[in-house]
């Protein structure tokens, strides 16, 4: 494999641990809902979980299916409260405020992105979810100056592993699949989608996971990836 | 892609993974465990086999509620166990378990130390989160806890674990636990009483948590009967405590005046306490640094008591966590030297392993022995001490500002919200840390006096500006004043009363920046500006609605004041470091809410506006209309939107390093424009604290 001319990069759980931020934000959102109302935490949890399933099955694999405001609106409606506009907005803001506050880049991720900049390899974020919140995440993590383009499922019209987001990224870069690599944590979405187009998949692993057999590389941290890229490709 | 491409990366990944695993925190932890277990199996330190274990074994063989009395009655050495029930009870389970399992009693003692060691590591992880590798290197693999505890058998780790718990309790604001942990530490090893005054001073020199000292005392008092009463009931403990070698070693370093010796250690300790007492304000970092330095100093001045370095150890690790590599290296080198020399002198080994080499230089060093080693130890330790004092204490803005309060001046026309801003700034700094003084208290006459018919409040001649100036400068020097206060409802001055100075003095008034002496003394000066239509709207609302004036008189007053405002108030804008101006976005309707406003901010220190702009957009979802440098060295930023207190608090914590040292733990952030002004003011105070200012 020759040195790629660009890197397609997933965001959630690839550049920062998603679950940590989500759990903290979700817990605070549920606590706030229960504090404002007499709803029990278990009822709130179950309503939100049910609402999430309903929204996802209704909308399918599109960006809006991740919209927290829709989950909250549906959950409140399921709880018999109708559409509580202000409360829904407040809970959504609390969720994302806490989510952003809890986000921390994986060790070495910033240095790796900065190294890509120095090597002159453009980085394109290819991610599901809506553009507004993904932009906020990138800016909050202060990595936006290191990113050339962002492709969201909202922009592409469908989610990974559908080829549309990858094709849109390639179109923005004016490159062929073989010129790029895809770095992501999810073999089912990032891996399958990329490899279907002939884009090599680099699997970001967590401590306990094992690399996807079809992936070109499995790596545990970004220092390791930087070292591997330096030794394999010797980019200038 | 070919097969080769698949295989090579995986192989590389595996190698990388092994390398990472070898140098990772888990591997370093296991290495530390193996070293400890190896030492436990290989060595039985002489003080443990001579004193501690015989005492503990004797107390198991001769069960008594007063094992000290039984020990002495059987002719035991009075120096064997100069500790109280807390230490005895801590060590007892391990020793009993060893006896029960038929293992040497020392194993029980050492396993207790190992468990305490693990607890200390866990507590340090709470104090320094997300840096496991750093902790493994600076604590877990440091020769200090390893050699002093497992090669020499010192039990200082047990009180140190309690002391570290007290630090964790401070940081997590569980103040009752601070008292419990501190008292347990002292009860376990009485020498730890040397740490208590620093904790007390920390609370008394930190206004934000001074009121939390009560739960500390309650916590300490609650556990005291449990920890101390058994000791008091046993007369034998007292007689053994006075044989405590460490108490005697306090007098080991002396300086002779004629033939009379003066003990230098208590003198140095007393001077250190006095110097902290003279510090106006202590934050957690300064407390850690100064306490660590004092313990390090004590260890340096008394090399014959190597266990004392363990007292400084948690503090030194916290200091290292925020230090550069040279400081970390110096402390690390000192730790290695200290431990090696301690082992040399206390283990019975003739020389440290490195000195066993036959090279002439080592032979020379061996012959010079004690003198050379001590000189080296004092040299490295002294250098580390000096570097920490210079970089972490003298350079600390809180220490530099510790002699005089921070003076914040707020000027502006009548009705622009000076009092509101003063109150809002007090809300984030904490009312306990702020003294306020208002120019309104220095009007020359009560409201109904005839002179106000021919002169406005804006005229300097209608105010006792010399008195105002003196009082502001007196408060700013840290001294109490006697002053009157203007009652806006009655229009009369109160009787004089004392007003004490504080960490922050906020002087607000029409003429605060008009007076050069105050202007130059201010660490931060703010000018409040306002769109004229909005100012009139608010002034009418306030003076008619809140202060009970008639609408006609307020309107006439506004017109009459315009000329004086142009002459005496508006020029102050050019002298301010920070200017706030509120502009309404919609036309104002009498008696109706104002509606959304744009906040225009001019700052002399606006270089950081770019970072602020990002966070205002990303976190608070605000509209930053424009920002950039304008004329006269001012930077401008214009903001629209309605930020929430939580968002502003988060932005402050991102923009201000160690914001917890500046802001009140329960800071009350406002929403909207006033919250934004709080944010700007807080950041500017931080900037002013870190600038060289007279």
Per DSSP, the residues of A172-214 read HHT--GGGEEEEES-IIIIIHHHHHTT--EEEEP-TT----TT
Between chains, do B10 and A217 touch, taking CB under 8 Å as contact? yes
**Cα gap B663→A124, rounded to integer Å:** 40
Joined tokens for residue B561: 């004041």
Q: How far apart are CA A142 and CA B82, in angstroms?
A: 57
* Distance of residue B584 Cα from the nearest chain A Cα, in angstroms: 25
Alpha-carbon span B673 to B601, nearest angstrom: 11
Taking only Cα atoms into account, the Rg of chain A, rounded to an integer number of angstroms, comes to 19
Cβ of A232 within 8 Å of Cβ of B9? The answer is yes
- Determine the 3-state secondary structure of A106 from DSSP: coil
The separation between the first and the last C-alpha atoms of chain A, rounded to the nearest angstrom, is 17
Instruction: Quickly state the pLDDT bin for B692 (edges 50, 70, 90).
Output: low
Residues whose CB falls within 8 Å of the CB of residue B543, separated by 6 or more in sequence, listed in order: B415, B549, B554, B557
* Most confident region among A186-195, A219-228, B241-250, B641-650 by mean pLDDT: A186-195
Mean residue pLDDT across chain B: 83
Tell me what the mean pLDDT of segment B12-18 comes to: 57
Cβ atoms of B151 and B43 within 8 Å: the answer is: yes
Across the interface, whether the CB atoms of A224 and B17 are under 8 A apart is answered yes
A156-169 pLDDT, tens digit per residue, is 999 999 999 999 99
Interchain contact, A93 vs B644, CB within 8 Å: yes
Cα-based distances in Å from A51 to A41, A54, A132, B86: 15, 5, 22, 56
Nearest residue on chain A to B15, alpha-carbon basis: A224
Query: For chain B, what are the domain ranges?
Result: 28-399, 404-689
Shortest Cα distance, chain A CAs vs residue B685, angstroms = 24
Choice between B512 and B394, residue whose per-residue pLDDT is larger? B512
Element (H, E) at A218: strand A217-219
CA nearest B620 in A: which residue? Answer: A97
State residue B4's pLDDT score: 36
Q: Is A10 a catalytic residue?
A: yes
CA–CA distance, A231 with B12 (Å, rounded to integer):
10
pLDDT, tens digit (0-9, with 9 covering 90-100), for B400-440: 666 688 999 999 998 889 999 999 999 999 988 899 999 98
Q: Could A216 and B650 be called an inter-chain contact, meaning their C-beta atoms sit closer than 8 Å?
A: no
pLDDT digits (tens, 9 = 90+) for A5-18: 999 999 999 999 99
What residues of A are in contact with residue B5 (Cβ under 8 Å)?
1, 200, 216
pLDDT reported for residue B5: 39
What is residue B260's predicted lDDT score, i.e. its pLDDT?
73
Q: What is the pLDDT at residue B332?
A: 86
Which H or E element spans position B172? none
B13·A101 Cβ contact <8 A: no
Cα angle at B515 between B511 and B520, to 5 degrees? Answer: 120
pLDDT at B537: 87
Min Cα distance B626 → chain A (Å) is 18
pLDDT tens for B278-301 read 777 778 888 898 888 888 888 887
> Is A232 an 8 Å CB contact of chain B?
yes
Average pLDDT of B174-183? 94
Burial class of residue B548, CB neighbours in 10 A (0-12, 13-18, 19+): exposed
Q: Which of A43, A49, A25, A62 is nearest to A152 (CA)?
A: A62
pLDDT of residue B538: 82
Q: pLDDT tens-digit profile of B543-566?
A: 887 777 888 888 888 888 888 899
Q: In 3D, which of B613, B541, B655, B662 has the Cα closest to residue B281?
A: B662
Say if A216 is an interface residue toward chain B (CB within 8 Å): yes
In sign, the C-alpha dihedral spanning A37, A41, A46, A50 is positive
Task: Answer whether A205's CB lies under 8 Å from A198's CB.
Answer: no
Chain B residues in contact with A221 by the CB 8 A cut-off are 20
Report the relative pairing of strands B524-530 and B578-584 from DSSP bridges.
parallel
Could you tell me the CA-to-CA distances from B427 to B422, B646, B686 in Å, in that order?
9, 14, 16
Q: How far apart are CA A194 and CA A166, in angstroms?
A: 7
Which residues touch B42 (CB under 8 Å, ≥6 apart)? none
**C-beta atoms of B618 and A139 within 8 A:** yes
What does the DSSP 8-state code read for residue B349?
-
Judge if ipTM > 0.85. no
Residues A218, A225: Cα–Cα separation, whole Å = 9
Q: With a cut of 70, say whether residue B487 has pLDDT above it.
A: yes
- Active-site residue identified among A12, A185, A190, A212: A12
Residues B190/B241, Cβ–Cβ less than 8 Å: yes
Question: How far is residue B271's CA from residue B277's CA, in Å, rounded to a whole number?
Answer: 10
CA distance B132 to B125: 7
Tell if the CB–CB gap between A100 and B13 is shorter than 8 Å. no
Beta bridge pairs of residue B530: B582
Tokens of B620: 């608070």
- Residue B300 has, within 13 A of its CA and on its CB side, a CA count of 22
SS3 content of chain A, % helix, strand, coil (to 5): 55, 10, 30
Structure tokens that stand for B590 in this block: 């009498």
Weakest mean pLDDT among A20-24, B182-186, B287-291, B592-596: B592-596
Confirm if B291 and B315 have CB atoms less than 8 A apart.
yes
Beta strands in B484-543 (DSSP E): 486-487, 492-493, 497-499, 504-509, 524-530
The answer to whether the Cβ–Cβ distance between B618 and A228 falls below 8 Å is: no
User: What is the Cα–Cα distance from B548 to A195, expressed in whole angstroms?
Assistant: 76
Question: What local confidence, expressed as pLDDT, does residue B368 receive?
Answer: 54
Four-CA torsion B678, B680, B684, B685, nearest 10 degrees: 10
Q: What is the least distance, in Å, from the CA of A149 to any CA of chain B?
A: 18
CB–CB contact B646 A97 (8 Å): yes
Q: What pLDDT shows up at residue B486?
A: 81
B643-670 average pLDDT score: 90
Enumerate the residues of chain A whose CB falls inside 8 A of the CB of residue B646: 94, 97
Identify whether the C-beta of residue B637 lies closer than 8 Å to the C-beta of residue B626. yes
B354 compared with B425, residue with greater pLDDT: B425
Are residues B9 and A217, on separate chains, in Cβ contact within 8 Å?
yes
Statement: residue A56 has pLDDT above 80? yes
How many whole angstroms separate alpha carbon A125 and alpha carbon A236? 23
pLDDT, residue A73, reads 95
- Asked whether the predicted pLDDT for residue B7 surpasses 80, the reply is no
Partner residue opposite A140 with nearest CB, options B8, B619, B646: B619
Tell me whether A136 touches chain B (CB under 8 Å): yes
Which fold, A6-17+104-233? Rossmann fold (3.40.50)
Torsion of CA B480, B483, B488, B489, to 10 degrees: 110
CB-defined contacts A:B, below 8 A: 58
pLDDT at residue B605 is higher than 90: no
Question: Which member of A100, A200, A224 has the closest CB to residue B20?
Answer: A224
- Class of residue A210 by CB neighbours under 10 A (exposed 0-12, middle 13-18, buried 19+): exposed
Q: How far apart (Å, rounded) are the C-alpha atoms in residues B685 and B666?
A: 18
Q: What is the mean pLDDT of residues A202-228?
A: 90
* Dist CA B544 CA B507 (whole Å): 25
Average pLDDT over every residue of B525-547: 86
- Phi, psi torsion values for A202, nearest 5 degrees: -105, 120
Integer-rounded Cα radius of gyration of chain B? 32
Q: Is the pLDDT of residue B353 over 50?
A: no
Alpha-carbon distance values, B220 to B86, B160, B197, B241 (Å): 14, 17, 14, 21
Residue B380: count of CB within 10 angstroms of its CB: 20
Phi-psi category of B548—alpha, beta or left, where left has phi over 0 and alpha has psi -120 to 50? left
B117-161, pLDDT tens digit by residue?
999 999 999 999 878 889 999 999 998 899 888 988 888 899 999
Residues of B within an 8 Å Cβ radius of A:
1, 5-6, 8-10, 12-13, 16-17, 20, 130, 614, 617-619, 644, 646-647, 650
Judged by CB atoms within 8 Å, which residues 192-211 of A form the interface with B? 200, 211
pLDDT of amino acid B356: 44
The answer on pLDDT for B207 being more than 50 is yes
Give the H or E element holding residue B62: none
Question: Of the candidates B555, B528, B533, B530, which has an alpha carbon nearest to the alpha carbon of residue B544?
Answer: B555
Nearest by Cα to B110 from B97, B94, B123: B94
DSSP sequence for B370-389: HHHHHHHHHHHHHHHHHHHI
Written as six digits, the tokens of B334 are 């000192």
pLDDT at B403: 66
The residue ranking higher by pLDDT, B43 or A40, is A40
Least confident of A8-22, B177-191, B382-396: B382-396
pLDDT for position B298: 82
CATH topology of domain B404-689: Rossmann fold (3.40.50)
Taking only the tens place, the pLDDT of each residue in A59-88 is: 998 888 999 999 999 999 999 999 999 899
**Between B367 and A34, the higher pLDDT residue:** A34
Cβ contact B314:B160 at 8 Å: yes
Domain residue extents for chain A: 6-17+104-233, 19-102
How confident is the model at residue B51, as a pLDDT? 83
- CA–CA separation, B623 and B596 (whole Å): 12
- Which of A1, A97, A232 is facing B650, going by the closest CB pair? A97
pLDDT digits (tens, 9 = 90+) for A117-132: 999 999 999 999 999 9
């Amino acid at each position: 494999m020759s040195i790629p001319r660009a890197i397609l990069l997933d965001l959630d759980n690839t550049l920062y641990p998603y679950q940590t931020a989500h759990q903290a934000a979700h817990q605070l959102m549920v606590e706030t809902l229960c504090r404002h109302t007499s709803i029990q935490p278990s009822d709130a949890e179950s309503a939100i979980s049910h609402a999430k399933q309903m929204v996802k099955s209704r909308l399918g694999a599109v960006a809006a299916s991740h919209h927290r405001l829709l989950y909250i609106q549906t959950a409140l409606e399921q709880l018999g409260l109708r559409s509580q506009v202000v409360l829904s907005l407040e809970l959504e803001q609390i969720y994302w405020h806490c989510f952003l506050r809890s986000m921390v880049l994986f060790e070495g991720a910033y240095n790796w992105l900065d190294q890509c900049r120095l090597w002159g390899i453009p980085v394109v974020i290819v991610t599901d979810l809506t553009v507004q919140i993904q932009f906020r995440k990138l800016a909050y993590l202060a990595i936006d100056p290191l990113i050339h383009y962002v492709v969201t499922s909202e922009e592409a019209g469908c989610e990974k592993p559908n080829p549309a987001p990858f094709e849109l990224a390639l179109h923005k870069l004016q490159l062929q699949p073989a010129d790029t690599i895809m770095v992501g944590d999810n073999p089912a979405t990032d891996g399958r989608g990329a490899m279907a187009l002939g884009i090599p998949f680099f699997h970001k692993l967590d401590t306990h996971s094992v690399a996807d057999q079809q992936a070109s590389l499995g790596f545990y941290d970004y220092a390791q990836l930087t070292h591997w890229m330096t030794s394999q490709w010797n980019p200038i | 892609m070919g097969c080769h491409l698949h295989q090579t990366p995986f192989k590389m990944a595996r190698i990388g993974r092994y390398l990472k695993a070898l140098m990772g925190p888990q591997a370093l932890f296991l290495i530390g465990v193996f070293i400890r277990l190896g030492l436990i199996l290989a060595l039985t330190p002489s003080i443990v086999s001579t004193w501690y274990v015989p005492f503990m074994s004797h107390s198991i063989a001769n069960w008594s509620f007063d094992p000290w009395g039984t020990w002495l009655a059987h002719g035991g050495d009075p120096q064997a166990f100069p500790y109280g029930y807390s230490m005895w009870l801590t060590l007892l389970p391990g020793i009993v378990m060893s006896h029960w399992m038929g293992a040497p009693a020392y194993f029980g003692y050492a396993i207790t130390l190992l468990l305490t060691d693990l607890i200390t590591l866990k507590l340090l992880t709470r104090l320094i989160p997300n840096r496991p590798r750093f902790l493994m290197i600076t604590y877990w693999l440091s020769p200090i806890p390893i050699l002093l505890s497992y090669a020499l058998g010192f039990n200082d780790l047990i009180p140190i674990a309690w002391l570290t718990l007290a630090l964790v309790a401070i940081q997590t604001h569980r103040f009752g636990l601070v008292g419990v942990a501190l008292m347990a530490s002292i009860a376990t090893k009485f020498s730890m009483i040397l740490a208590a005054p620093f904790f007390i001073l920390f609370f008394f020199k930190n206004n934000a948590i001074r009121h939390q000292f009560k739960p500390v005392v309650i916590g300490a008092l609650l556990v005291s009967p449990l920890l101390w009463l058994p000791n008091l009931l046993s007369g034998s403990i007292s007689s053994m405590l006075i044989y405590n070698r460490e108490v005697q070693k306090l007098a080991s370093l002396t300086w002779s005046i004629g033939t009379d010796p003066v003990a230098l250690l208590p003198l140095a300790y007393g001077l250190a306490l006095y110097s902290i007492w003279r510090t106006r304000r202590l934050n957690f970092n300064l407390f850690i640094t100064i306490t660590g330095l004092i313990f390090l100093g004590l260890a340096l001045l008394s090399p014959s008591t190597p266990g004392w370095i363990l007292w400084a150890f948690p503090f030194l690790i916290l200091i290292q966590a925020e230090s550069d590599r040279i400081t970390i290296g110096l402390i690390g080198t000192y730790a290695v030297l200290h431990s090696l020399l301690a082992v040399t002198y206390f283990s019975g080994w003739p020389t440290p392993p490195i000195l066993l080499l036959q090279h002439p230089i080592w032979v020379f060093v061996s012959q010079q022995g004690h003198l050379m080693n001590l000189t080296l130890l004092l040299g490295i330790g002294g250098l580390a001490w000096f570097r920490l004092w210079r970089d972490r204490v003298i350079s600390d803005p809180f220490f530099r500002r510790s002699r005089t309060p921070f003076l914040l001046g707020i000027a502006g026309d009548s009705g622009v919200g000076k009092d509101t801003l003063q109150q809002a700034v007090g809300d984030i700094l904490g009312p306990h840390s702020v003294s306020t003084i208002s120019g309104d208290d220095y009007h020359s006459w009560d409201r109904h006096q005839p002179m106000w018919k021919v002169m406005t409040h804006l005229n300097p001649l209608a105010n006792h500006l010399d008195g105002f100036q003196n009082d502001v400068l007196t408060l700013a020097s840290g001294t109490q004043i006697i002053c009157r206060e203007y009652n806006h409802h009655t229009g009369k001055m109160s009787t004089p009363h004392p007003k004490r100075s504080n960490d922050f003095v906020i002087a607000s008034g029409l003429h605060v920046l008009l007076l050069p002496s105050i202007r130059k003394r201010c660490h931060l000066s703010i000018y409040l500006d306002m769109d004229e239509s909005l100012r009139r709207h608010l002034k009418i609302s306030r003076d008619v609605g809140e202060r009970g004036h008639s609408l006609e008189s307020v309107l006439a007053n506004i017109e009459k004041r315009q000329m004086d405002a142009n002459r005496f108030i508006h020029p102050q804008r050019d002298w301010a470091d920070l200017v706030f101006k509120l502009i309404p976005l919609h036309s104002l309707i009498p008696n109706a809410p104002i509606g959304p406003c744009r906040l225009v901010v001019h700052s002399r220190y606006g270089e950081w506006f770019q970072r602020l702009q990002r966070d205002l957009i990303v976190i608070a979802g605000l509209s930053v209309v424009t920002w950039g440098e304008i004329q006269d060295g001012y930077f401008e930023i214009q903001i629209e939107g309605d930020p929430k207190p939580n968002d502003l608090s988060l932005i402050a914590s991102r923009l201000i390093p160690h914001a917890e040292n500046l802001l009140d733990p329960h800071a009350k952030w406002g929403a909207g424009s006033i919250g934004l002004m709080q944010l700007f003011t807080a950041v500017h105070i931080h900037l002013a604290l870190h600038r060289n200012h007279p």
